[in-house]
Copies of this chain bind each other. A is one copy, B any other.
Amino acid sequence: MTQALAPTSRIGILGGGQLGRMLALSAARMGLDVVIFDPEPDCPASRVAAETVTAAYDDLDAVAKFAASVDAVTYEFENVPAATAAAAAEHAPLRPGAKALDVAQDRLTEKTFLNAHGATTVAFRPVSTLAELHTAISELGLPAILKTRRFGYDGKGQAVIREMSDAEEALAAMNGQPAILEAFADFTHELSIVAARGVDGEVRAYPLSENRHSDGILRESLAPAKVSDETTKTALGMATRVLDALEYVGVMGMELFALKDGTLLVNEIAPRVHNTGHWTQDACTVCQFEQHIRAVAGWPLGDPVPHASARMVNLIGHDADAWEDWLKTPNAVLHLYGKRETRDGRKMGHVNVLGSL
């Protein structure tokens, strides 16, 4: 393991929200120092990091200096600008690499890439004009979903088209940004697989979780999901092919739609630790945050085997006001992100409620 960093090395993380914070906590447990880079002063991760750089992502001098001061760089969000990633990668290993960001940042690139590597998605068409949208609708059928190609998250930048007459308004909602029309997936449930790839190419995945969203935001995950071995095998195969094709290092989240006939479609990938993997913090010996840090540090991956089942409940906005009730709930583990202000729709924390396997 000549690529392994020493245990007192410095890990740089682009982004200091809750994912950066939880990565920092796992890294610290293993003796590593974390340096956070975030434009926001007093961001959640800054309060658990050895050092914080407060600068804009497009301040490439600051990015270069940050990367030069650490032994490896990773990130907590998929919208790291390409120039930022490139500036960091010049001075330290960037894990996962720029290719993962490139693929994950554009829904058209992403779906094209996924299908090219045997990770099937819904049918889709690029759309820039109303004429293209009309053609795409006639090819894919209705309902369908129009999405901006870039910078969508938590259901933002999306418009459902149920009738041809919705088309114009949906396109207007894209604000002139390049869009993609996606066929509607008539799924029976939403699943995800969180998998890691080490520097040596080894892939290890957690059991699938079943996820429930509302208003485009994840509310709950149940894990391990009650799915067939066949479903697990298919998901793991798709994740492995994608990880290998991206020469990926770190943890990746892959969201899946399960159709009535058993077909699995990939909704999207996230080149980072994933909200649907939070259950692993308390139900597995090695959680997704530790697994990601192990990969980034060039360390051997851990066993992604749960010792309990878990229901992960996101605390959105004022859900977090019930923190004291959660503290009193047996087998519940409370995670709060230290955000100063409670806002509707804001992820304030989560709870893992453990059960028997």
A interface residues with partner B (beta carbon < 8 Å)? 1, 4, 7-8, 21, 24-25, 28-34, 46-50, 282, 285-286, 294, 299-300, 302-303, 307-308, 320, 323-324, 327-328, 330-340, 349, 354
Nearest-neighbor residue (CB-CB) of A21 within chain B: B28
Q: A300-B328, A307-B308, A334-B30 are in contact. Are A323 and B7 (CB under 8 A)?
A: yes
Q: Which of the residues B30, B50, B338 comes within 8 Å of A335, measured between beta carbons?
A: B30
How many copies are assembled?
Answer: 2
Docked CA distance A50–B7 (Å): 22
Point out which of A294, A330, A338 has the most chain B C-beta atoms below 10 A from its C-beta: A338
Q: Which of the residues B25, B331, B336, B349 comes within 8 Å of A25, measured between beta carbons?
A: B25
Q: Which of the residues B25, B50, B333, B339 comes within 8 Å of A28, measured between beta carbons?
A: B25
Nearest-neighbor residue (CB-CB) of A328 within chain B: B300
Nearest-neighbor residue (CB-CB) of A354 within chain B: B285
Q: Which of the residues B8, B21, B336 comes within 8 Å of A340, measured between beta carbons?
A: B8
Question: B299 and A32: CB pair below 8 A?
Answer: no
A333 cross-chain contacts in B, Cβ below 8 A: 285-286
Question: B338 and A31: CB pair below 8 A?
Answer: yes
Point out which of A1, A50, A339 has the most chain B C-beta atoms below 10 A from its C-beta: A50
Question: A338 and B300: CB pair below 8 A?
Answer: no
